[in-house]
Structure 1
Amino acid sequence: MKIGILGDTHRNKNYIDKAIKHMNDCDLILHTGDNFQDSIYIHKTTNITTLGVVGNCDFEEAEDEILFETKGYNIFICHGHKYGVKYGIEKLKDKAKKLNADVVVFGHSHEYLHEFHDGILFLNPGSISLPRGSIDRSFIIMELDYENININKIIL
């Protein structure tokens, strides 16, 4: 299964459209919030199932966290602001353990992250519109099957 992961797009359709060109063969797209409307735009543009959560800059009535299972992995998506991810991932790690998550996808900090902690994969795609900590406008293509997870950081 091939999954596109992006977030903190902040309605910058120019960079969203550039990212979408890399996701045409994805089976699923995950959007980590800020702006939730971008996840709707991505779905309408690609016709690929898109799961999005709301972030601290969103005012829509939508989920702020999603937990789902695919290919034997429990994947937890949130924006991250409720877990103070700009100051570390300890609170997010605690939540992931309670949920028995294998993969945690989050945003908010606008900084790319790809780390394992206590057997849990934490992914932050960074931001394609307003990157921090780097000039790289980034997102992720994750490929997974029942045995392996491969992460590809894509820089626009």
Structure 2
Amino acid sequence: MKIGIISDTHGDMRSIEKAIPYLEKCDLIIHAGDYIDDAEYIHYATDVEVKCVKGNSDLYRFDGDYELTFSVKNKKFFVCHGHYHDVKMGINSLYKLAKREDMDVVVFGHTHIPTYKTIDDIIFINPGSLAYPRGKSDKSFGVLTIDNNIFYEEIKI
């Protein structure tokens, strides 16, 4: 199963369009917030289910959740934007939550810096930003493949 992971698109339609050819080959797409409206566009452009959460730039939206949990291929996912978990200060809050809730994969955004790390068998993924990369990173998103093994590819555009 291929899962597209995207965040912090901030309405940058040019960059989203560059990501569409990759995302339309996925079985599922996760959008970790900042602009949740972009998640709706991505769904219609790819015809792929998009699970999304609101970010700090989505405060104007009444609908949508700030956190989401679900399972895929017997892996428990936790998705948030990260601003309520102080991710700019590190992932300690997310780590504690993932340990407590027995999560396998944590997806977040907010920092605009791509991250992929495993701590105590918990995978933490921040796909970076398609709109405003930070920390000398490029515009990016990712594709997580889950089969007998787990493989993550950061895609720069």
Instruction: Specify the TM-score bucket, using the shorter chain as the normaliser.
Output: over 0.9
Question: Where do 5+ consecutive residues of structure 2 fail to align?
Answer: none
Q: Deviations over 1:64-98 (max 9, x none)?
A: 11111111100111000000000100011111112
Distance 2:101 2:118 in 1: 16
Question: What's 1:101 paired with?
Answer: 103
Tell me by how many angstroms 1:134 deviates: 1.7
Distance 2:37 2:98 in 1: 26
Q: Secondary structure at the match of 1:25?
A: coil
Amino acid in structure 2 at the alignment position of 1:64: Y
Structure 1 runs of 4+ off > 4 angstroms? none
Size of the aligned set, in residue pairs, is 155
Question: What's 1:149 paired with?
Answer: 150
Q: Secondary structure at the match of 2:56?
A: coil
Distance 2:125 2:54 in 1: 17
Distance 1:8 1:70 in 2: 23
Which range is displaced more, 59-68 or 6-15? 59-68
Q: Secondary structure at the match of 1:91?
A: helix
Question: What's 2:69 paired with?
Answer: 67
Question: What's 1:126 paired with?
Answer: 128
Q: Secondary structure at the match of 2:96?
A: helix
Amino acid in structure 2 at the alignment position of 1:138: S
Amino acid in structure 2 at the alignment position of 1:152: E
| Alignment RMSD | 0.8
Distance 2:45 2:91 in 1: 33
Tell me by how many angstroms 1:135 deviates: 3.9
Amino acid in structure 1 at the alignment position of 2:57: C
Q: Secondary structure at the match of 1:141?
A: strand
Distance 1:141 1:149 in 2: 11
Residue 140 (str. 1) matches residue 142 (str. 2): yes
Q: Deviations over 1:106-138 (max 9, x none)?
A: 000000000011210000000011000024111
The answer to whether the 8 A contact 2:24-2:47 is kept is no
The answer to whether the 8 A contact 2:114-2:137 is kept is no
User: What TM-score do the two structures reach when normalised by structure 2?
Assistant: 0.96
Q: What percent of counterpart residues are identical?
A: 44
Distance 2:29 2:13 in 1: 16
Question: What's 1:15 paired with?
Answer: 15
User: What TM-score do the two structures reach when normalised by structure 1?
Assistant: 0.97
Question: What's 2:46 paired with?
Answer: 46
Q: Deviations over 1:3-35 (max 9, x none)?
A: 100010000111001011112210000000000
